[in-house]
Structure 1
Amino acid sequence: MTVTSAPLDFPDRHDGLVYVMPPELDMAVRVALATGRPLLLRGSPGSGKSTVAAYVARQRNWRYYEHVITSRSQARDLLWTFDAVRRLADAQSGIRDLASSAYIEPGALWWAFDPESAKRRGAETATSHPPLQPFAEVNRDRSPDHAVVLIDEIDKADPDLPNGILVPLSSSSFVISELNLEVRKAPSTRPVPTDTARHLIIITTNEERELPEAFLRRCVVLWLDPPDADRLVTIAQEHFTTYGEGWTDSHEALAREVAQAVIEARDKARMHGIRPASTAEFLDALRACRHLGVGPTDDVWPLLRKFVLIKPQRPGIEDDQRHLAW
């Protein structure tokens, strides 16, 4: 086996440089743009849902924003937040300028729809304390008229959140109650085609909670199936060549061995209700094999597989499952 350089310092990259786009996903993106509807990507964790948005934004040279949903997220967080606690503290400390706009933080959809008003926090003139622009370096030279927004893991939110963003998504507008201000999609700065949307909203779900029917009706929906062995190898080749880790015939042979081992383990995991290994975990296993100079036929493979591919929910579960012939 060929021993290569150390793994990347940042294994989970969201720079949009690499994504092997299956034909059905490319078609779903085009349908979402043609209809102006959000694209809801469904599938198991690690199937590549979250990395699509950054890739599409980079390929089209559109601005990129994201919001990762948690159990505490509210629909308004995607639009703006208002720091009432800080405003009260400032009032109690004697600060006279308590303009509501100073306590507003624009959310991902506000930045996408109207970045110029977001820079002013909704005020009529530029503020002396402009908000921190998300992905400012990435978006610096990208189209001011177009944006891709990733709303990640929406199934983690309270059921009210999906329905709460239906109107802003369908109208590209919302009202900031603290400012009595309507934020609308800014006019384009140059002629753009009128037969496709200027903004693409990509929403992901890991299916941990059912989504409201009203929300599903207003989305373009695609289930992302896990890649087969051939596509896993293609994904590995794209990653390793793009990020300068090298790709040779021996690397490809190793990738095929690891991919086949992952497919076999994935099939058995599904049969017995265990979470199957994801694409990201396949890349981790392959990178570890390359770095350590080992493969699925070596004695240490069972340990590496246990560390990277089989992650039990409780200690000892793999020992309980020895009859599965992992």
Structure 2
Amino acid sequence: MVTPEPLPPQPAVRNAPDRPDGRAYVVRGDLDLAVDVARATGRPLLLRGDPGSGKSSFAAHVAWQNGWAYHEHVVTSRTQAPDLLWSFDHVRRLADAQAQRLKPIDAYVEPGVLWKAFAPRSARAHALRALADRRPRMHGGRRPVRTDTADLCAQSVVLIDEIDKADPELPNGLLVPLGSRRFTLSQTGLDIEPEDDARALVVITTNEQRELPEAFLRRCLVVKLEHPEPEELVEVARAHVDAYYRPFTDADLLLAWELAEVVRDLRDNAERRAQRKPSTAEFLDAFHACRKLGIRVADSDERWRTLRRMALLKQDNVA
């Protein structure tokens, strides 16, 4: 038995503005109950809200908090329902055919996020077989690949991010797979069945740029994420500092409150003018910039006026 080659070192995320690990998240409102209800009913959890309100990072937080596996797929205008179940590498197959080294059809199929969540052992075994088919042959046979799946996590969180970016047929195409948790690979005819011990929480986000089909909404639990109040923004800032920097000082607390009040006023003003409101993510950008650069939240500070315009307003013609 040959041990799989180690994965290459993963890039550090300490300085990344949108951290994917889920450690720094403040759960608000009914989100904890929503997770319990979604798991009890087996229904997807659809999170609505403005961009930057914390919808996507909530899924990563649930996975991190519970020690569950985490899978995500960011939807684009070209995404189709099967892309969330599996993908087929047409380009590689064409190249192999032209080079007269065509592999078995399974070698070009890659499990998608829902396959990994609904049938993790099946997805892992398939991925390893495909890898073995693609590796060079040694000593007259295939190079062996480790197929032990005992260490797989049966519980997982799947994030389907920004589903409203896709064609309306995407949500309709997911009705059966999300309901039955089974599907058939069109290239091979293989039926993928849900594994008894696999429990998956499916979190779907929408920025409400496009109306979702009623049939899809009926099959989801829906939660609206509102903009946090100032005291909640302060707790968000505290969570990020505690998770990544430490310590959260009295100066940080004062800065967080000053920025939270600015954001509240800007949101009130934006609502009156029917304009875009600054998001929680933008509040964090301003907080980290002020904290690291020593910028004071004061109109007399030219750097603050510039930062306010760049990070929060993002409209040159707004005072």
Deviation at 1:204, TM superposition (A): 0.1
**Inter-partner Cα distance in structure 1 for 2:151 and 2:157:** 11
The aligned residue for residue 191 of structure 1 is none
Deviation at 1:8, TM superposition (A): 5.1
Identity across matched positions, percent: 52
Contact 1:120 1:127 in 2 (8 A): no
Contact 2:120 2:152 in 1 (8 A): no
Asked whether 1:217 is paired with 2:218, we answer yes
Deviation at 1:121, TM superposition (A): 2.9
Contact 2:103 2:134 in 1 (8 A): no
Moved more, 241-250 or 37-46: 241-250
Deviation at 1:209, TM superposition (A): 0.3
**Which of the pair has the greater relative contact order for Cα pairs under 8 Å at 6+ separation?**
1
Change (3 A) 1:206 1:259: same
Contact 1:63 1:142 in 2 (8 A): no
The aligned residue for residue 119 of structure 1 is 124
The aligned residue for residue 74 of structure 1 is 80
TM-score by length of 2: 0.86
The aligned residue for residue 40 of structure 1 is 46
The aligned residue for residue 301 of structure 2 is 299
The aligned residue for residue 192 of structure 2 is 183
The aligned residue for residue 89 of structure 1 is 95
The aligned residue for residue 311 of structure 1 is 314
1:64 to 48, 70, 83: 70
Change (3 A) 1:234 1:141: farther
The aligned runs of 1:128-207 (5 Å cut-off) are: 128=132, 144-188=153-197, 198-207=199-208
- Secondary structure in structure 2 of the residue aligned to 1:199: strand
Change (3 A) 1:141 1:206: farther
1:104 to 109, 114, 117: 109
Contact 1:48 1:279 in 2 (8 A): yes
**Inter-partner Cα distance in structure 2 for 1:18 and 1:61:** 15
Deviation at 1:116, TM superposition (A): 2.4
The aligned runs of 1:198-277 (5 Å cut-off) are: 198-277=199-278
The aligned residue for residue 5 of structure 2 is none
Asked whether 1:50 is paired with 2:59, we answer no
Deviation at 1:174, TM superposition (A): 0.6
RMSD: 2.2
Contact 1:122 1:179 in 2 (8 A): no
**Inter-partner Cα distance in structure 1 for 2:62 and 2:292:** 31
Contact 2:63 2:69 in 1 (8 A): yes
Moved more, 228-237 or 19-28: 19-28
Contact 1:62 1:143 in 2 (8 A): no
Deviation at 1:86, TM superposition (A): 2.5
TM-score by length of 1: 0.84
**Inter-partner Cα distance in structure 1 for 2:114 and 2:281:** 28
Change (3 A) 1:106 1:100: same
Change (3 A) 1:231 1:87: same
**Inter-partner Cα distance in structure 2 for 1:54 and 1:200:** 11
The aligned residue for residue 29 of structure 1 is 35
1:117-161 alpha-carbon deviations (Å, 9 max, x no partner): 2233379x5751589xxxxxxxx9986211110000000000000
Structure 2 unaligned segments of length 5 or more: list them. Answer: 1-12, 136-148
**Inter-partner Cα distance in structure 1 for 2:245 and 2:91:** 48
**Inter-partner Cα distance in structure 2 for 1:142 and 1:27:** 29
Change (3 A) 1:88 1:164: same
Deviation at 1:186, TM superposition (A): 1.7
Structure 1 unaligned segments of length 5 or more: list them. Answer: 1-6, 132-139, 189-196, 313-317
